[in-house]
Structure 1
Amino acid sequence: MAVLVLIGILVLVVGGCVCVVWASRGGPRWVRGVAYVTLTAGEVLRKSSRSNGKSGGQSSSSGDDGS
């Protein structure tokens, strides 16, 4: 069952990426909508991962900057 869920998520991610590429080449309106949703979801996930690892990331990056 978990494998089917993971395959479904993989299909959605790959489909979203295909729509982003297709929309950049002037696809139909629904493709641009899916691309917008895909890019927005990516931004939300990126911001949430930065805020979750912010304290750990700052301490390690400050150590890298000092060397």
Structure 2
Amino acid sequence: MILTVLIAVLLLVLAGCACVLWAARGGPRWTHAVAKATVAAGHLASTLLRPGRSGTRSGSDSDDGGSD
């Protein structure tokens, strides 16, 4: 069952990528809509999966290991 879901997600991702490429080359109007949805889903996924998204990164730049 889980394999079927993963294959379906993989096929949707591949179809979305194909639409992005086709829309970039001037495809039909519907490919532009699918391409926008695919790019938006990619941005959303990368934002949600990015570590440290809670805003606690502000002190990480000052910690350069200078203390002996």
* Matched residue, 1:29: 29
Would you say how many aligned residue pairs link Structure 1 and Structure 2?
62
Q: When the two structures are superposed, what TM-score results if normalisation uses the length of structure 2?
A: 0.76
* Matched residue, 1:15: 15
Identical-residue share of aligned pairs (%): 47
* Matched residue, 1:4: 4
Deviations 1:16-63 (A, max 9, x none): 00000000000101111000000000011111122xx116xx4xx75x
Letter matched to residue 22 of structure 2: W
Distance 2:49 2:7 in 1: 23
- Structure 1 segment 23-62 matched on structure 2, within 5 A: 23-50=23-50, 53-54=51-52, 58=57, 62=61
Distance 1:3 1:26 in 2: 35
Q: When the two structures are superposed, what TM-score results if normalisation uses the length of structure 1?
A: 0.77
Higher normalized helix content (fraction of residues) = 1
Distance 1:10 1:29 in 2: 24
Q: Unaligned stretches of 5+ in structure 1?
A: none
